[in-house]
Amino acid sequence: MSRDPGLPRRTALRRLARGAGVALATAGLVASTTVAAGAANPDTPGDFTGYGFDQCLAPTQKAMDAWLTSSPYWAVGIYISGDSRGCRSQPNLTPEWVRTQLARGWRLIPITLGPQASCNPKFPRYGNDERIDPRSSDRYRAARRQGRAEAEDAVRVAKSLGIVPGSTLWYDLEAYNIGITSCRESALAFTSGWTRRLHGLDYVSGVYSSAASGIKAMDDARVNRPKAYTLPDRIWIADWDQEASTSSEYLRSDGWRPGGRMKQYRGGHNETHGGVTINIDTNWLNLGRGSTPGAEPDRCGGVDLSYRDYPTVSRGDTDPQVSALQCLLIGQGYLDGEVTGVFNNRTEEAVRALRDRRGIDPGRAAGPRVWTSVLSMGSSRLIKYGAASERVRRLQRALNAATDRQLRVNGIFEGDTTAAVKRYQSMRGYSTTGVVTRGLWRQLKRGKL
């Protein structure tokens, strides 16, 4: 996509290196993830706040697995249709590829790059691809018709790939001169036709463009001529200000907020994760409701499990954390009965049994290793920046016990949680990726410090 706000162009995927450890790093993930052929895919990208990348060619499955377990990214742009796209051939992009990425938590950003603005000197790219018709007759009727046709083609391809209704389909409108009236108005008419037709086909409309041209034109129309065009539900802003946010000096702060923006804030560059190098553009997404964890479940009649500090507790103690410990031990089958809030003989025996079962040094007190183990128990599904769930709360509690990080337990995997994960990985001699894999969960459940 854009190389700068004034004149975008697409980057291409280049596989420059692959480390010998990729297969080992991803083996546990691949073995533990089964993709059911008949299972319905979720709509994409759904509600998400976090990092994404895009490039010309959909990566191989091996590259996607390496980046899943090693990179901060959890959203990926893929070109699915459009005669003017840089990579018309997409050998890796199949229904199985789509289904696999969605099952592993990736958010997909399906992109169409078809007819471009009539004043864009870079197009037609191949000679046989159309430009947007600039004729002004009947409110740019021809341009609207082109937009509708591209939407129909995008939906046809999306459905064939398993990208379901309710998903956002994005139109890539490269930078153009918005000072030329016929060029600007026909481009707006085109994206209006695109949006209206997607709505009729039960998909969400997104439009990518340079902040200084296509996005500014849509924002000006939103404010000054709100009834002239049907504007997209979501915008993708190309503004290489190096700021991971959805703000831009080229448009007003209120448009497409909350939940309707993403920004490409860095252009083409190489990044290497898990031994795999890809040339990417970098994006920040804040879409839908964003990453929200939902309400915390009630446990043991309202016992609070979330603290920034988990002190060592032993026989006779009555700290609030004793109630939390007993609730966890009951839930994991080590303790029968009710929460008393007193570290009694039965609690002592339960802690002893847990230590024995999880390979923790013998003892009857609950110190950092016991707390780390008992707080982390549950699903071992991979999580990283952008996750939001009770699983993240479990992680945050366990990290507070293991690293004395004093995280706020809110169920949202953001910067502070990433830093705490990296600290724990460093303590254990792991690569500091900030990604919580099945292997890292195993270390936490064993109470490793």
The answer to the question of residue 420 being in a domain is yes
pLDDT at 355 over 60: yes
Residues 196 and 117 in one domain: yes
Q: Tell me, what CATH number does 189's domain have?
A: 3.20.20.80
pLDDT reported for residue 304:
97
**Rounded to a whole number, what is the largest CA-CA distance in the chain?**
87
Domain final position from 264, 287, 310:
287
Residues 77 and 163: their CA atoms lie apart, in Å, by 13
Give the chain's domain count: 2
∠ CA 116-117-119 to the nearest 5 degrees? 130
SS3 268: strand
Distances from the Cα of 363 to the Cα of 36, 345, 352, 354, 447, angstroms:
44, 13, 6, 10, 14
Residues 67 and 108 in one domain: yes
The answer to the question of residue 7 being in a domain is no
Domain final position from 231, 265, 287:
287
∠ CA 356-359-362 to the nearest 5 degrees? 50
Q: Are 217 and 188 in contact (CB under 8 A)?
A: yes
The answer to the question of residue 75 being in a domain is yes
pLDDT reported for residue 28:
42
Q: How many CA atoms lie within 13 A of 198 on its CB side?
A: 32
**405 pLDDT band (50/70/90 cuts)?**
confident
Residues 282 and 327 in one domain: no
Nearest of 85, 53, 103 to residue 276 by alpha carbon: 53
Nearest of 195, 282, 268, 190 to residue 237 by alpha carbon: 282
Domain final position from 269, 287, 305:
287
The answer to the question of residue 306 being in a domain is no
Q: Tell me, what CATH number does 353's domain have?
A: 1.10.101.10
The answer to the question of residue 149 being in a domain is yes
- Mean pLDDT across the stretch 325-335? 98
Domain of residue 376 covers 320-445
Q: How many CA atoms lie within 13 A of 390 on its CB side?
A: 11
Residues 438 and 139: their CA atoms lie apart, in Å, by 56
SS3 112: strand
pTM of the predicted protein model: 0.90
Nearest of 153, 118, 149, 147 to residue 133 by alpha carbon: 118
- Mean pLDDT across the stretch 374-396? 98
Mean pLDDT of the chain: 92
In angstroms, how far is CA 229 from the centroid of its own chain?
A: 30
pLDDT digits (tens, 9 = 90+) for 96-118: 999 999 999 999 999 999 999 99
Residues 438 and 333 in one domain: yes
pLDDT reported for residue 142:
98
More confident site: 294 or 4: 294
Residues 81 and 216: their CA atoms lie apart, in Å, by 25
Residues 371 and 268 in one domain: no
The answer to the question of residue 174 being in a domain is yes
Q: Are 74 and 384 in contact (CB under 8 A)?
A: yes
pLDDT digits (tens, 9 = 90+) for 194-216: 999 999 999 999 999 999 999 99
Residues 333 and 272 in one domain: no
pLDDT reported for residue 1:
62
In angstroms, how far is CA 202 from the centroid of its own chain?
A: 22
pLDDT at 62 over 60: yes
Nearest of 96, 232, 120, 250 to residue 176 by alpha carbon: 120
Residues 43 and 163 in one domain: yes
pLDDT reported for residue 404:
80
Residues in the chain: 449
pLDDT at 298 over 50: yes
The answer to the question of residue 1 being in a domain is no
pLDDT at 38 over 60: no
**22 pLDDT band (50/70/90 cuts)?**
very low
pLDDT reported for residue 39:
65
pLDDT reported for residue 429:
96
- Mean pLDDT across the stretch 301-327? 96
Residues 205 and 282 in one domain: yes
Residues 430 and 121: their CA atoms lie apart, in Å, by 50
pLDDT reported for residue 36:
46
Residues 354 and 251 in one domain: no
Angle between helices 438-445 and 390-403 (to 10 degrees): 50
Residues 151 and 251 in one domain: yes
- Mean pLDDT across the stretch 214-226? 98
pLDDT digits (tens, 9 = 90+) for 410-428: 999 999 999 999 999 999 9
The answer to the question of residue 17 being in a domain is no
Place of tokens 């988990």: 310
Residues 210 and 353 in one domain: no
Instruction: Give φ, ψ of 261 to 5 degrees.
Output: -130, 150
pLDDT at 16 over 60: no
Residues 123 and 217 in one domain: yes
pLDDT at 178 over 90: yes
